[in-house]
Amino acid sequence: MSIDEPILVRPDKSHIPAIAAFRKEFADSLDWLHGARGLRYMEDPSEWLDYSARLEDGLDGAPPYTQFVFVRPSSGKILGMLGVQHAPDGPVESWGGHVGYCVCPSERRKGYAEAMLREALPYCRSIGLRRVLLTAGDENVGSVRTILKNGGVFEGYYISPKHGREIGRYWIDLN
């Protein structure tokens, strides 16, 4: 392991400038922020940090959600974000899953999504999950590859009522 190998950590106030830069890069590229719940709608990183802390406690009766950032230690740059939904948000049969993630547009195709997911799986096990559901459309080749490289097994397709299109469902066994 390199001394500057990125690490998966919970975000805190020390990450505020990097969160702002991460959000701006996604906004400039018109890309979606999967695995960074609420960040798309909150310009103030401090507000988002507070919101993320409330999500971890189970905001408004929803299952807890834990936010992580994937950070390069030397620069403090956030390379990606990953969120863990402790229980599926909505019917498992309909959409969503336990883990969502995104990689900064300028940092893609470097294996960061695969590393983030691999690092998050022990946490998923520690909160009592026996298997983890992830979803991805076939057009998202990188995400499908990331899931498969981390032991994901394809279950089948369904039409997502949230997205109105066919989505693949994958399970990773944590036992």
Cα 23–69–127 angle (5° rounding)?
135
Q: For residue range 108-161, what is the model confidence (pLDDT) as tens digits?
A: 999 999 999 999 999 999 999 999 999 998 888 999 999 999 999 999 998 877
152: nearest Cα among 130, 132, 166, 167 = 132
* Beta partners for residue 100, in sequence order: 83
Q: For residue range 25-65, what is the model confidence (pLDDT) as tens digits?
A: 988 887 777 889 999 999 999 999 999 999 998 877 788 99
- Cβ 128 vs Cβ 19: under 8 Å: no
Confidence at residue 32, expressed as pLDDT on a 0 to 100 scale: 75
Sheet (strand 131-136) strand order: 131-136, 166-173, 153-159
Check: CATH 3.40.630.30 for 7-173?
yes
- Rounded (10°) CA dihedral 55, 60, 61, 64: 0
Confidence at residue 69, expressed as pLDDT on a 0 to 100 scale: 98
Confidence at residue 151, expressed as pLDDT on a 0 to 100 scale: 98
The whole-angstrom separation of Cα 102 and Cα 34 is 5
Q: Is the pLDDT of residue 98 over 80?
A: yes
